[in-house]
């Protein structure tokens, strides 16, 4: 299952041969008889921004769920150096709790639960602190979800479908926050996106996942120029999802 | 009028017992989605334990507190059996708690025999606004009030309480942030055991408790809890008190033997009314 | 790929009380040695009353009559996906109906026939409001009905109140006395045979197959145009009629009835027997009833042996019911018989377990995001 066609040359800071924060080799995940991931390998270097693109149902969310330990792999290895925080698809906030309580729960298992550093990165959240999470707009919720993940002081943050269901303007704002987080604080970012245009714009390197396999990987600039990828993922990509 | 007020206090006290059992159900249901049929058993175990502790010469108060702890342990044990295994579905878990109740019958009969036992409570009456009221009733009401305030503070103010609410609100997200949801479910069951235990030691002086008293306690508690859709402790309190007053008033002014029937009809009516309002929700909540 | 897996897991999570994924696939016929075994068991069962002593006959009758109730519960839970924790009520209604009729000089056979009708009618009336409820709501509603029933009986002079009805005449047909233990044993098994035949026809009929869909997903069944409400009500009434029929025979057999004979725990023991055998399976119901009754009776004999305290039998039977139910629910959630049958069918019929089978049976492992995650 490891004959994954690697078409492009790896590049970017850290690179896969350095001390990667995430290193996944030959990962297989099954749900009963259905195989969701069949021998996936990839890596994220420290401080790197890596995109994982692919169509709906390709296994992207399964991959992140496996990274954060929610789904148990059938075989293969996952090595994470440092802490990984997961921003799940669909935000998945604690709707009954206030924004600040959502953040505090994000620091579960840590003694340091001061939300101030997160407010420094995402200043909009300070004003929403007392609001109930369920009462927020989609963009605000996504920001809370990112903030909640940051409360774990992660070395790498995995964001599953940042843009899903959000207006392009809102997505641009959130993307700017992620970019700043990556550039200024050195937090590695793994961006799982259907919207390849956004992903390529934000990240330096990307992997393309289709039907449970990595089909292409390489520098975003090269991938964006590749005819095949462009036709499949950048064709009518406007940032809106059906 | 004096008589009516006496009945009212009586009803509120009885309702507090239902509300405490009901709040235990709520605590477990919110976090695990399981309706814990063994909730009445916790009250019975605590009540019977209290009679033994008192018989051993342990001071009142201390004996009751110890009995409440026994209830908590019974809750924890039930939780381990009911939700400790991965993939146990809520309705299966309901039947498991039912089975735990049966198993507890065996242990209770073995330890305490099959005859009802009563626990001495506060004696005598106190005057409340000129109405003579049994002091045990006042104790029940006061303790229930304190317990509900503590419960509210626990969920609203403490980190563990918020984490429990988080599990209830979105178990998937709770796992995403690294909360061990199964362990939180155990905590919920232990909390349910403590709440059931408090109900048991408070109610035992009002009515003799035998091993099979759990059925009436759980049905009353469920009726109280269903009032708030099994998720809101304060609504369980309101439901319990309403139920208690209804029951006492039917006994006092209607036919004594139909006292519990009123509560049971009330329970069925509430559920049917709720299902008519939210038909799809009920289907999916199975 | 992950899409289809996701759907599978979702459906499984919503499905009520363990509907049988095993049944969803086409059934392979049972191998002939198994059929032979069944035939031999049936024959032995028929001949047993001729050789059993009094105590053995009492157990024999108890098993047959309980099995009638348990087959009904198995249908209700396995096919309609509904939990009833009040089935003993219909057993009691059947008993009281027959008792009141014969005490008023109606022939016992008429009482026997009226009992299932009365129980079924009460179930129809109760079912209209109650079957709008699901899962634990229905479970508690049926317990509530049970408790209400007990109060009503205690208050009713016609039904003998708390004291009960005494001196119920034994069973007879057209002047032929069938009141002795051996005759009642045969009557019980005749009654059970009727129940099994009716259930078998229901299961294999077209509505029966629709019912299977009902247990898996009510919403899906509804959208497929199956008249969900009517089918559920029918099964509920049918299971009540089975219980009522058994109750009437029991009333003739024991000769007296009182509300204390029908505690809520009786309803629960019926559910235990159904769960042990396997919901939605007639053979499972028969096996579960027999197994549980035999174990309890054996332990009961130990408990009444010399030197044991007088509450020992009660303790032992509670412990057996509790432990059995816990073990079965946690480790054999489909019940003993379906698990065994799967194993036998797998051994006899060529293709070994397909991976799809595993997918259907063990869905809980996939920790997917909740279908209705509340944001």
Three-state SS string over chain C comes to CHHHHHHHHHHHHHCCCCCCHHHHCCCCCCCHHHHHHHHHHHHHHHHHHHHCCHHHHHHHHHHHHHHHHHHHHHHHHHCCCCCCCCHHHHHHHHHHHHHHHHHCCCCHHHHHHHHHHHHHHHHHHHHHHHCCCCHHHHHHHHHHHHHHHHHHHHHCCCCCCCCCECCCCCCEECCEECCCHHHHHHHHHHHHHHHHHHHHHHHHCHHHHHHHHHHHCHHHHHHCCCCHHHHHHHHHHHHHHHHHHHHHHHHHHHCCECHHHCCHHHHHHHHHHHHHHCCCCHHHHHHHHHHHHHHHHHHHHHHHCCCCCCCHHHHHHHHHHHHHHHHHHHHCCCCHHHHHHHHHHHHHCCCCCCHHHHHHHCHHHCCCCCCCCCC
Query: Domains in chain B and their CATH numbers?
Result: 2-285 (1.10.3470)
The arithmetic mean of pLDDT across residues A185-189, rounded, is 91
On chain A, the residues whose CB falls within 8 A of the CB of C358 are: 32-33
| A237 pLDDT higher than 80 | no
H helices within A58-122, ranges in order?
Answer: 60-67, 99-106, 116-121
- By Cβ distance, the residue of C83, C132, C369 closest to B275 is C132
Asked whether the predicted pLDDT for residue A14 surpasses 90, the reply is no
Which pLDDT score is estimated for C4?
37
Q: What is the pLDDT of residues C219-255, one digit of tens each?
A: 777 777 777 788 889 999 999 999 999 999 999 999 9
Measured in whole angstroms, the distance separating CA A141 from the mean position of its chain's CA atoms is 16
> Which pLDDT value is given to residue B278?
65
Is residue C17 scored above 80 in pLDDT? no
Would you call B171 and C268 a contact, using CB atoms and an 8 Å cutoff?
Answer: no
More confident site: C341 or C186 = C186
Mean pLDDT of chain A: 85
Mean pLDDT across the stretch C282-287? 90
pLDDT band at C339 (very low <50, low <70, confident <90, very high): confident
CA C279: distance to chain centroid? 8
The verdict on a CB contact (< 8 Å) between A34 and C359 is: yes
Q: Is the pLDDT of residue A218 over 90?
A: no
Tell me how far apart the alpha carbons of residues C310 and A191 are, in angstroms, rounded to a whole number. 70
State the Cα–Cα distance between residues B166 and A93, nearest whole angstrom.
Answer: 9
Average pLDDT over residues C344-349: 69
Confidence of residue C12 (pLDDT cuts 50, 70, 90): very low
The whole-number average pLDDT for the span C3-14 is 36
Q: How far is B10 from chain C (nearest CA, A)?
A: 22
Which chains would you list as touching A if contact means 3+ CB atom pairs under 8 Å? B, C
Mean pLDDT over each residue of chain B, to the nearest integer:
89
Joined together, the tokens standing for residue C104 give 């008023």
Residue C22 has pLDDT above 60, yes or no: no
Q: Looking at residues B112-121, what average pLDDT do you find? A: 89
Confidence at residue A240, expressed as pLDDT on a 0 to 100 scale:
39
Six-digit token string for C149: 């029933």
If pLDDT is split at 50, 70 and 90, which confidence band does C304 have? confident
Report, as an integer, the average pLDDT of B248-274: 86
Do residue A32 and residue C1 have CB atoms under 8 angstroms apart? no
C100-158: per-residue pLDDT in tens?
999 998 899 999 999 999 999 999 999 999 988 888 899 899 999 999 999 999 988 88
> Chain B interface, mutation test: which of C136, C215, C295, most B Cβ atoms within 10 Å?
C136
Residue C216 confidence (pLDDT) above 90:
no
What helix, strand, coil percent values describe chain A, rounded to 5? 35, 25, 40
Can you give the C-alpha Rg of chain C in angstroms?
A: 21
Distance from CA of C161 to the nearest CA of B (A): 12
User: How many angstroms away from the CA of C333 is the closest CA of chain A?
Assistant: 18
Helix intervals (H) in C178-227: 181-204, 206-216, 218-223
Residue B69 has pLDDT above 90, yes or no: yes
- At residue A144 the predicted structure's pLDDT band, cuts being 50, 70 and 90, is very high
Report the pLDDT value the prediction gives residue C29, as an integer from 0 to 100: 54
Q: Report chain A residues whose CB lies below 8 A from the CB of B177.
A: 105-106, 108, 148, 152
* Residue C7 CB neighbour total at 10 angstroms: 13
- Record: contact A34-C374, CB cut-off 8 A: no
User: Does residue A212 sit in helix, strand or coil?
Assistant: coil
Residue bearing the bigger pLDDT, C332 or C215: C332
Report which secondary-structure segment, H or E, holds C350: none
d(CA B217, CA B225) in angstroms, rounded, equals 12
**Closest chain C CA to residue B260:** C148
pLDDT at C349 (0 to 100): 61
Size of interface B-C (CB pairs under 8 A): 172
**Percentage of residues in chain B with pLDDT exceeding 90?**
61
Choose among A115, A35, A42, A110: nearest CA to A77: A42
A25-34, A132-141, C5-14, C366-375: the lowest-pLDDT one = C366-375
pLDDT at B221: 93
Q: Decide if B183 touches C, using CB distance below 8 A.
A: no
Q: Does pLDDT of B238 surpass 90?
A: yes
What pLDDT, in 10s, does the model give residues B189-225?
A: 999 999 999 999 999 998 899 998 998 899 999 999 9
**Which pLDDT does position C367 carry in this prediction?**
29
Q: Give B236→chain C minimum CA distance, Å.
A: 16
| Nearest in space to B200 (alpha carbons), one of B188, B209, B192, B191 | B209
The residues, ordered by sequence, that sit 6+ positions from A166 with a Cβ below 8 Å of its Cβ are: A138, A139, A142, A174
Instruction: Name the one residue in this structure whose structure tokens are 């309702």.
Output: B15
By the CB < 8 Å criterion, does B25 face chain C?
no
Query: Inter-chain contact B177–A101, Cβ cutoff 8 Å?
Result: no
In this prediction, residue C306 carries a pLDDT of: 67
A218 φψ region: left (φ > 0), alpha (ψ -120 to 50), beta (else): left
Asked if residues C266 and C86 have their Cβ atoms less than 8 Å apart, the reply is: no
* pLDDT at residue number C28: 46
């Amino acid at each position: 299952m490891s004959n994954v066609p690697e078409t492009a040359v790896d590049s970017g800071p850290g690179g896969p041969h350095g001390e990667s924060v995430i290193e996944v080799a030959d990962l297989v995940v099954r749900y009963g008889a259905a195989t969701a991931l069949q021998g996936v390998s990839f890596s994220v270097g420290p401080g790197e921004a890596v995109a994982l693109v692919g169509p709906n149902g390709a296994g992207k969310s399964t991959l992140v769920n496996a990274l954060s330990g929610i789904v148990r792999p059938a075989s293969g290895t996952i090595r994470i150096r440092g802490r990984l925080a997961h921003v799940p698809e669909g935000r998945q906030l604690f709707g009954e709790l206030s924004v600040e309580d959502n953040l505090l729960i994000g620091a579960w298992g840590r003694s340091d639960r001061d939300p101030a550093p997160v407010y420094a990165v995402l200043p909009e959240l300070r004003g929403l602190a007392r609001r109930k999470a369920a009462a927020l707009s989609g963009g605000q919720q996504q920001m809370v979800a990112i903030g909640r993940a940051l409360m774990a002081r992660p070395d790498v943050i995995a964001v599953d479908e940042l843009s899903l269901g959000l207006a392009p303007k809102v997505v641009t704002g959130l993307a700017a926050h992620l970019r700043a987080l990556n550039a200024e604080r050195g937090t590695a970012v793994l961006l799982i996106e259907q919207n390849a245009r956004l992903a390529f714009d934000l990240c330096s390197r990307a992997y393309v996942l289709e039907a449970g396999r990595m089909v292409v990987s390489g520098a975003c600039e090269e991938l964006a120029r590749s005819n095949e990828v462009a036709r499949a993922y950048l064709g009518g990509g406007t940032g809106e999802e059906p | 009028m004096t008589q009516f007020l006496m009945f009212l206090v009586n009803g509120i006290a009885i309702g507090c017992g239902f509300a405490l059992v009901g709040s235990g159900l709520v605590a477990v249901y919110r976090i695990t989605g399981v309706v814990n049929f063994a909730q009445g058993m916790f009250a019975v175990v605590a009540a019977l334990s209290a009679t033994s502790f008192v018989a051993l010469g342990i001071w009142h108060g201390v004996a009751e507190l110890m009995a409440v702890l026994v209830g908590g342990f019974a809750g924890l044990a039930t939780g381990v059996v009911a939700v400790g295994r991965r993939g146990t579905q809520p309705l299966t878990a309901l039947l498991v708690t039912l089975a735990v109740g049966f198993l507890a019958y065996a242990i209770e009969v073995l330890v305490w025999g099959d005859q009802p036992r009563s626990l001495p409570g506060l004696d005598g009456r106190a005057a409340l606004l000129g109405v003579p009221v049994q002091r045990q009733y006042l104790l029940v009401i006061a303790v229930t009030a304190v317990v509900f305030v503590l419960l509210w503070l626990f969920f609203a103010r403490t980190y563990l309480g918020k984490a429990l609410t988080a599990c209830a609100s979105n178990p998937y997200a709770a796992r995403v942030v690294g909360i061990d949801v199964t362990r939180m479910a155990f905590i919920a069951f232990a909390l349910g055991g403590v709440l059931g235990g408090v109900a048991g030691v408070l109610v035992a002086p009002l009515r003799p408790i035998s091993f099979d008293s759990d059925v009436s306690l759980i049905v009353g508690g469920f009726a109280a809890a269903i009032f708030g859709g099994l998720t809101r402790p304060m609504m369980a309190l309101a439901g319990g008190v309403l139920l208690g007053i209804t029951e006492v008033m039917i006994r006092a002014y209607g036919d004594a033997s139909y006292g519990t029937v009123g509560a049971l009809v009330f329970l069925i009516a509430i559920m049917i009314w709720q299902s008519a309002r939210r038909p799809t929700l009920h289907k999916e909540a199975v | 790929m992950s899409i289809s897996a996701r759907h599978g897991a979702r459906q499984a999570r919503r499905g009520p009380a363990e509907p049988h994924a095993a049944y969803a696939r086409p059934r392979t016929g049972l191998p002939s040695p198994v059929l032979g075994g069944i035939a031999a068991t049936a024959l032995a069962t028929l001949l047993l009353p001729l050789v059993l002593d009094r105590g053995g006959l009492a157990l024999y009758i108890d098993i047959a009559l309980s099995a009638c109730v348990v087959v009904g519960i198995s249908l209700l839970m396995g096919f309609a996906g509904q939990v009833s924790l009040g089935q003993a009520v219909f057993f009691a209604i059947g008993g009281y109906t027959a008792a009141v009729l014969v005490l008023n000089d109606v022939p016992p056979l008429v009482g026997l026939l009226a009992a299932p009708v009365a129980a079924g009618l009460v179930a129809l009336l109760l079912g209209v409001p109650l079957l709008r409820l699901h899962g634990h709501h229905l479970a508690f509603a049926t317990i509530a009905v049970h408790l209400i029933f007990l109060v009503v009986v205690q208050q009713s002079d016609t039904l003998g109140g708390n004291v009960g009805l005494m001196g119920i005449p034994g069973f007879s047909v057209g002047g032929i006395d069938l009141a002795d233990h051996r005759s009642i044993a045969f009557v019980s098994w005749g009654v059970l045979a009727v129940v099994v035949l009716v259930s078998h026809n229901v299961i294999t009929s077209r509505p029966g197959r629709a019912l299977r869909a009902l247990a898996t997903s009510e919403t899906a069944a509804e959208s497929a145009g199956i008249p969900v409400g009517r089918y559920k009500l029918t099964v509920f009434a049918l299971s009540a009629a089975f219980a009522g029929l058994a109750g009437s025979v029991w009333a003739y057999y024991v000769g007296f009835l009182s509300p204390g004979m029908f505690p809520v725990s009786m309803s629960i023991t019926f559910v235990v027997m159904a769960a042990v055998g396997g919901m939605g399976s007639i053979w499972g119901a028969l096996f579960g009833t027999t197994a549980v009754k035999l174990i309890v009776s054996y332990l009961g004999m130990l408990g009444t042996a010399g030197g044991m305290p007088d509450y020992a039998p009660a303790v032992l039977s509670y412990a057996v019911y509790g432990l059995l139910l816990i073990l079965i629910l946690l480790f054999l959630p489909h019940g003993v018989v379906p698990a065994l049958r799967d194993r036998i069918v797998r051994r006899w019929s060529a293709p070994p377990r397909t991976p799809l089978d595993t997918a259907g049976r063990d869905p809980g492992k996939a920790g997917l995001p909740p279908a209705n995650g509340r944001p």
